């Protein structure tokens, strides 16, 4: 049963962006918390870039060398692929600083990932192709009780959200349940005032789910965000949605286990 909307409920709202594809230049790189490769890119084509949602995603393209790849363009009839070259692409969380016109992307490093492999080898002067974000989900910051569940793939978005809450001097209760494979990855997030981060190092998804489902969630003035592997996130999101307002429980698949 869907929970009735309270008169004081503020729902997330969607905003559309003009779709653009950009060719950027890598400015610097840095290894963060042992498992994330930070790529900072810039360039004139970042003019007009906008990202209003903490879990927005941009699409990054990784063409083969000498493939003749040219970024596509958005036309009236859809996306036009020039030279008919469609390289591998992955979605990532953008962190943009308009004061410096720099775009930061944190790549979780893992074996066999086309984006991960590119990020490890990237150096200043390299080219980075990106598109989007096509739209944003703008989530109000004032929910008194907030829950965030993620693994390494969702940590950049969570990092962005915690910074956003801190900037707004949030006074409520925030709990984050974060699954990681290594203790070192915990260094990626800094607990802001009023934020309780609970780490699950090497634990199973079932353990995290049991912990999340045992939490006492208020009847109103809450927001829940669940991300990670597709099937795992979907199952937990559905369980947490029972008896609650579906618009206040956001579930997003950040990757899919193809085994």
> Closest Cα to residue 194, out of 162, 172, 215?
172
Please report the pLDDT score of residue 181 as a whole number.
96
> Closest Cα to residue 190, out of 235, 214, 155, 153?
155
User: Mean pLDDT across the chain, nearest whole number?
Assistant: 93
Please report the pLDDT score of residue 84 as a whole number.
81
Where do the structural domains in the chain lie, given as residue ranges?
A: 14-135, 139-255
> Closest Cα to residue 218, out of 196, 195, 251, 243?
243
Whether the CB-CB separation of 194 and 170 falls below 8 Å is answered with: yes
Outline where DSSP puts E strands in 63-184.
Answer: 73-75, 78-80, 88-92, 95-97, 102-108, 127-131, 135-138, 145-150, 173-180
Is the pLDDT reported for residue 248 higher than 80?
yes
Mean pLDDT computed over 102-127? 95
Whole-angstrom Cα distance, residue 57 to residue 91?
6
Which residues is 91 bridged to in the sheet? 59
Please report the pLDDT score of residue 74 as a whole number.
86
Mean pLDDT computed over 210-224? 97
Mean pLDDT computed over 71-94? 89
Range of weakest confidence among 27-36, 83-92, 218-227, 242-251: 83-92
Whole-angstrom Cα distance, residue 223 to residue 245?
9
Whole-angstrom Cα distance, residue 95 to residue 199?
23
Mean pLDDT computed over 52-59? 97
> Closest Cα to residue 203, out of 228, 240, 168, 225?
228
Range of weakest confidence among 69-78, 151-160, 211-220: 69-78
What are the C-alpha distances in Å from 40 to residues 56, 97, 158, 253?
17, 10, 19, 25
Residues in the chain: 259
14-135: which CATH architecture? Beta Barrel (2.40)
Is the pLDDT reported for residue 230 higher than 90?
yes
| Tokens 């997030």, located at residue | 189
Please report the pLDDT score of residue 9 as a whole number.
65
Whole-angstrom Cα distance, residue 53 to residue 140?
10
Question: Starting at the edge strand that comes first in sequence, how are the strands of the sheet with 173-180 ordered?
Answer: 195-201, 173-180, 145-150, 222-229, 249-255
Q: Report the CATH number of the 139-255 domain.
A: 3.40.50.80
Entry pTM: 0.93
């Amino acid at each position: 049963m869907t929970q009735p909307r309270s008169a004081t409920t503020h729902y997330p709202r969607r905003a559309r962006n003009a779709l653009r594809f950009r060719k950027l230049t890598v400015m610097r790189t840095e290894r963060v918390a042992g498992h994330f490769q930070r790529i900072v890119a810039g360039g004139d084509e970042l003019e007009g870039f906008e990202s209003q949602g903490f879990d927005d995603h941009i699409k990054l393209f990784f063409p083969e060398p000498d493939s003749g790849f040219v970024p596509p363009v958005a036309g009236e009839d859809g996306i036009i692929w020039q030279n008919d070259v469609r390289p591998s692409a992955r979605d990532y969380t953008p962190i943009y600083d308009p004061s410096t016109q720099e775009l930061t992307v944190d790549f979780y490093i893992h074996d066999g990932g086309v984006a991960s492999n590119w990020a490890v080898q990237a150096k200043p002067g390299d080219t980075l192709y990106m598109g989007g974000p096509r739209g944003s989900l703008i989530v109000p910051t004032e929910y008194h009780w907030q829950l965030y569940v993620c693994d390494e793939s969702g940590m950049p978005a969570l990092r962005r959200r915690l910074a956003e809450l801190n900037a707004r001097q949030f006074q409520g209760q925030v709990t984050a349940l974060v699954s990681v494979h290594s203790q070192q990855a915990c260094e990626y997030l800094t607990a802001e005032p009023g934020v309780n981060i609970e780490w699950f190092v090497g634990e199973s998804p079932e353990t995290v789910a049991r912990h999340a489902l045992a939490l006492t969630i208020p009847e109103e003035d809450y927001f829940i965000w669940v991300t990670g592997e597709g099937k795992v996130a979907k199952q937990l999101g559905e369980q947490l949605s029972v008896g609650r307002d579906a618009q206040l429980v956001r579930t997003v698949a950040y990757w899919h286990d193809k085994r």
